[in-house]
């Protein structure tokens, strides 16, 4: 037995040497012979580093490039040693408070002071998410507006001395003293027949979305492969249990056929792919991509859910036209179905009285709800695209929307042009108002925008519109 064991061990060792060691060290030895360097140790270390980098995944190359760029700020940090590191992502540990450039305009950069850093640098959540983890994405991606993330629900408590000022700056909401309301009763919406007629005339489509996360699992920025798989299991059970108008199909991202992918792309259902400019890449939420990610949509294509993108689940209700109450009703049913599935699996949705529904980014706390319409505004767009329009008039739509707590975007999202004069207009607020309140504010605000569009169509000037907005708000 001993002889056989020794022979097996020797065979395994020889196999390992031939398959794993020889491909690295034989070329290295030849390079050493050819180069005959003065400092053999330094030469070998440099060559080993090159060999390691050549084996990096494309994602890791992007991450290392971002880290190297941030290193030019003079900030002191190190990588390696974080148990969440993978072959496609490296977490940074800051040795001192990061140094920011003028390009770093995020709320994170504003509130990561030496005092806050000293207080939180050694703290970790119960699942091991650190303050360095929380601020990494905003350091690497200076264009982000918020610039920080949470790795699990405990992060929101452990790092509240940092998060709460960020929340106050972003939402105008004091998480230390205020309570967030929740209301998912679509019957409370006020939407008259006249409003419905106007919306159907101007609105091409309606979409309502929000993030939902499962308690007990780390959020995507801090999740292990096992946790990510566990989240997908819970969500699959939820999707499989949907019936009636919500019954549909779940598509696993790694196993998607070309036909399925083309169909989902043509419908605009696929979520964002990790790039060097989005939060997914900078925060570690794209590790092990695309494993345990997927997309669900119902047979009627009015309900959509994303699994393990920026949050555990992003639920979306959508339909053509402007029937807001109907779209909100589907959204509420989908949200309640996820809640029921989580309960059936012995857990619950992440939620607290002061922050509402918890998620990865502070911008999506509270309701996390974005209710939007794709609306055609030819007169506003004509002013915007007219080269002779003064800057103030080019900003007219943005000024009008801001007055009613709305946010306009181009047809393809923020900072994009309005194709065929169609703008994406949504509620700006997320936290401190219930779902019903925010959808109602969107209805009321868009009703006013349509009235102002018709003013312009009848010959009113931008100055007339501003005066009317002031009267509406009086």
Give the predicted TM-score (pTM) of the model.
0.82
The confidence score (pLDDT) of residue 448 equals: 97
24 pLDDT exceeds 70?
A: no
316 pLDDT exceeds 70?
A: yes
Beta strands 370-376 and 422-427: pairing type?
antiparallel
Domain that holds residue 412: 186-473
3-state secondary structure string across 145-182: CCCCCCCCCCHHHHCHHHHHHHHHHHHCCCCCCCCCCC
State which of 178, 213, 246 marks the end of a domain. 178
Same domain? For 218 and 157 the reply is: no
211 pLDDT exceeds 90?
A: yes
Confidence label for 266 from pLDDT (cuts 50, 70 and 90): confident
53 pLDDT exceeds 70?
A: no
Task: Return the closest-CA partner of residue 309 out of 276, 266, 273.
Answer: 273
Same domain? For 254 and 377 the reply is: yes
The confidence score (pLDDT) of residue 59 equals: 86
The confidence score (pLDDT) of residue 22 equals: 57
pLDDT 10s digits, 107-121? 999 999 999 999 999
The confidence score (pLDDT) of residue 439 equals: 97
pLDDT 10s digits, 445-456? 999 999 999 999
What is the CATH classification number for the domain harbouring 75? 1.10.135.10
State which of 178, 194, 217 marks the end of a domain. 178
| Better-predicted residue by pLDDT, 303 or 47 | 303
Same domain? For 378 and 255 the reply is: yes
pLDDT 10s digits, 301-315? 999 999 999 999 999
What's the structural domain count of the chain? 3
Same domain? For 306 and 356 the reply is: yes
323 pLDDT exceeds 90?
A: yes
Question: What is the helix, strand, coil percentage profile of the chain, to 5?
Answer: 50, 15, 35
237's tokens: 């059970």
Same domain? For 143 and 202 the reply is: no
Confidence label for 351 from pLDDT (cuts 50, 70 and 90): very high
The confidence score (pLDDT) of residue 30 equals: 73
Confidence label for 183 from pLDDT (cuts 50, 70 and 90): very high
Give the number of other Cβ atoms within 10 Å of residue 46's Cβ. Answer: 12
Query: Are 220 and 137 spatial neighbours (Cβ–Cβ below 8 Å)?
Result: no
The confidence score (pLDDT) of residue 14 equals: 57
- Region 200-206 average pLDDT: 96
Same domain? For 206 and 329 the reply is: yes
Same domain? For 201 and 314 the reply is: yes
pLDDT 10s digits, 94-108? 999 999 999 999 999
Task: Return the closest-CA partner of residue 248 out of 273, 230, 231, 267.
Answer: 267
pLDDT 10s digits, 456-468? 999 999 999 999 9
The confidence score (pLDDT) of residue 122 equals: 97
What is the CATH classification number for the domain harbouring 328? 3.30.590.10
421 pLDDT exceeds 90?
A: yes
Same domain? For 230 and 84 the reply is: no
User: Distance between CA 96 and CA 114 in Å, rounded?
Assistant: 8
472 pLDDT exceeds 70?
A: yes
Same domain? For 117 and 253 the reply is: no
State which of 17, 36, 55 marks the end of a domain. 55
Confidence label for 333 from pLDDT (cuts 50, 70 and 90): very high
16's tokens: 């390992």
54 pLDDT exceeds 70?
A: no
Helix 378-385, helix 435-457: angle, nearest 10: 70
- Region 420-424 average pLDDT: 93
Same domain? For 155 and 266 the reply is: no
- Region 57-68 average pLDDT: 89
């Amino acid at each position: 037995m001993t002889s056989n064991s020794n022979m097996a061990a020797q065979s395994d060792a020889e196999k390992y040497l031939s398959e794993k060691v020889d491909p690295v060290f034989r070329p290295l030895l030849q390079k050493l012979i050819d180069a005959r360097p003065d400092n053999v140790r330094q030469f070998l270390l440099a060559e080993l580093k090159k060999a390691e980098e050549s084996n990096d995944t494309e994602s890791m190359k992007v991450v290392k490039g971002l880290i190297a760029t941030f290193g030019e700020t003079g900030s002191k940090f190190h990588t390696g040693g974080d148990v969440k590191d993978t072959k496609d992502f490296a977490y940074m540990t800051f040795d001192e408070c990061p140094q920011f450039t003028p390009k770093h305009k995020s709320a994170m950069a504003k509130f990561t002071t030496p005092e806050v850093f000293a207080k939180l640098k050694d703290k970790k959540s119960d699942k091991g998410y650190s303050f360095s983890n929380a601020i990494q994405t905003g350091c690497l991606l200076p264009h982000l507006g918020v610039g920080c993330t949470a790795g699990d629900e405990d992060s929101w408590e452990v790092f509240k001395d940092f998060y709460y000022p960020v929340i106050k700056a972003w939402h105008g909401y004091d998480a230390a003293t205020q309570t967030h309301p929740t209301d998912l009763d679509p019957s409370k919406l006020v939407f008259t027949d006249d409003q419905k007629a106007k919306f159907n005339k101007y609105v091409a489509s309606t979409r309502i979305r929000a993030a939902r996360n499962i308690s007990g699992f780390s959020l995507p920025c801090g999740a292990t492969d096992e946790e990510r798989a566990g989240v997908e299991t819970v969500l699959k059970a939820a999707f499989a249990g949907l019936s009636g108008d919500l019954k549909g199909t779940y598509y696993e991202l790694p196993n998607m056929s070309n036909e399925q992918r083309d169909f989902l792309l043509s419908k605009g259902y696929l979520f964002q792919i990790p790039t060097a400019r989005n939060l997914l890449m900078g925060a570690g939420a794209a590790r092990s991509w695309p494993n345990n990610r997927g997309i669900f949509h119902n047979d009627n294509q009015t309900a959509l859910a994303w699994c393990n993108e920026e949050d555990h689940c992003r639920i979306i209700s959508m339909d053509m036209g402007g029937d807001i109450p109907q779209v909100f009703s589907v959204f509420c049913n989908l949200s309640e179905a996820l809640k029921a599935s989580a309960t059936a699996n012995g857990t619950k949705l992440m939620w607290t009285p002061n922050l509402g529904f918890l998620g990865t980014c502070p911008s999506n706390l509270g309701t996390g709800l974005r209710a939007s319409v794709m609306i055609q505004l030819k007169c506003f767009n004509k002013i915007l695209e007219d080269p002779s329009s003064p800057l103030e008039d080019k900003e007219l739509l943005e000024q009008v929307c801001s007055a009613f707590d709305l946010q306009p975007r181009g047809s393809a999202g923020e900072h994009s042009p309005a194709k065929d004069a169609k703008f994406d207009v949504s509620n700006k607020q997320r936290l401190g108002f219930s779902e019903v309140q925010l959808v109602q504010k969107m209805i009321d605000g868009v009703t006013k925008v349509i009235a102002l569009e018709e003013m312009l169509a009848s010959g009113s000037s931008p100055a007339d519109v501003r005066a009317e907005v002031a009267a509406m708000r009086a």
